[in-house]
Amino acid sequence: MNLSAIRKLVQIAAFGFMVYGSGLIGYYTVDKFSNALPALSCAFNHNTGDYCTLIPFQHQMAHRVGETIANEGNLLQGLIPTLITLGTFLILFVILSKAFCGWICPLGTFQELLSMIGQKLGLQQRKSVDEKVVKRIRPVKWLVLFFLVFFLPILTGLGYASHDLVDPYCKICPSRILTTLANGNTDQLVVDQANPVTMGFSIFGDFLFGLMIALALTVRQPFCRICPMLAMNATFRKLGLLKLTKNASSRCEKCGLCAKACPMDIREIHTEMVKKDVTFEDCTLCGRCVEFCPDKNVLQLKYATIPIFSASSDYFKKRKKAQKAWEKVTLASLKQPTVQPEAKS
């Protein structure tokens, strides 16, 4: 039992609640209780136990902010629903910080499952993405958040864009397809031909879902890198109580094992030698960097000021051994016949 195993159990439990949870607490309770949780569980799935905070933001930008400005109404009154949603988001975010991404998000769990399947099928795993590619990809999540979650819905409310763009991000979000398919509903995996706008978005959404599946078999967390929820969490990361901290040592410069373990290819964890708080914008607080750090207390997960998980040489040795044993088990290795030793004459 290690931190990664514990995280997998938490992810499986969270996936079950967020995809099928209304069967436990009721659909209307879900609607009133959890429509601002900072996790990618989809409101298009009527069995979910949680809604993604991005869908109320989009509708509020269109129907409250945009329409208020268009009708020359009281802007503060139009912003009140958005401020309430943001406040709910922040309360929950302060408690668990960016761990919502690494421990709870159903879409993140699905991508990790695909990576495990790819490894067991014997597909060549890309341990890390090229640094230049990572730097080019990082701004995408901010563009998606700005244009699809806020800007286009406001244009819709102002009357400058089609009403079909009330929730443009939802139209391409892979979680919308994932959570509905998990409940046996194929309505979202279609090409909506109502008009050119919806058709274009639905084609791109289906393509993005398929691309995510194909990439996740060999690349770690491909969609997480451009997810607007990651950008939302990065915006407020200083407020979260859970943080990743570093007490750099002279050995850090030659090691780099933390960066290799990071599923988001955050190489700054290795190179940063001054800052104590190394909860970078792409960090999901999965804790793998702490697990694979060989030096005592160099990396720590802290809740407020209390260390809850720290690097240690003993844990590192056991974790590395367990990882090697796990990676050796593939479909090909299971098919290999056992060679019996020859009898001595």
Q: Which residues pair with 242 in a beta bridge?
A: 303
Quick one: pLDDT at residue 261? 94
Residue with tokens 């940063």: 272
Residue 176 burial (10 A CB sphere; 0-12, 13-18, 19+)? buried
Quick one: pLDDT at residue 345? 46
Q: What residue ranges in 234-297 does DSSP mark as E strands? A: 242-246
Quick one: pLDDT at residue 124? 84
What average pLDDT does the structure give for the chain? 88
Check: CB of residue 55 under 8 Å from CB of residue 36: no
pTM score of the predicted model: 0.89
**Every domain of the chain and the residues it spans:** 3-232, 241-327
**Positive or negative torsion for Cα 248, 249, 255, 261:** negative
Helix or strand holding residue 299 (H, E) = strand 299-303
Check: CB of residue 39 under 8 Å from CB of residue 55: no
- What are the tokens at 236? 């407020």
Quick one: pLDDT at residue 25? 65
Quick one: pLDDT at residue 127? 81
Quick one: pLDDT at residue 93? 87
| Strand arrangement of the beta sheet that strand 299-303 belongs to | 242-246, 299-303, 306-310
Closest alpha carbon to 289 in 305, 273, 267: 267
Amino acid residing at 49: G
Query: pLDDT for 164-194, tens place per residue?
Result: 889 999 999 999 999 889 988 888 888 888 8
Helix or strand holding residue 178 (H, E) = helix 174-181
- What are the tokens at 274? 């001054």
Closest alpha carbon to 57 in 155, 166, 174: 166
Quick one: pLDDT at residue 250? 86
At how many degrees (to 10) do helices 196-216 and 174-181 cross?
A: 80
Check: CB of residue 238 under 8 Å from CB of residue 221: no
Quick one: pLDDT at residue 338? 54
Query: pLDDT for 67-84, tens place per residue?
Result: 999 998 898 888 998 888
d(CA 154, CA 259): 39
Query: pLDDT for 230-275, tens place per residue?
Result: 999 999 999 999 999 999 988 888 889 999 999 999 999 999 999 9
Segments of the chain scoring below 50 in pLDDT? 345
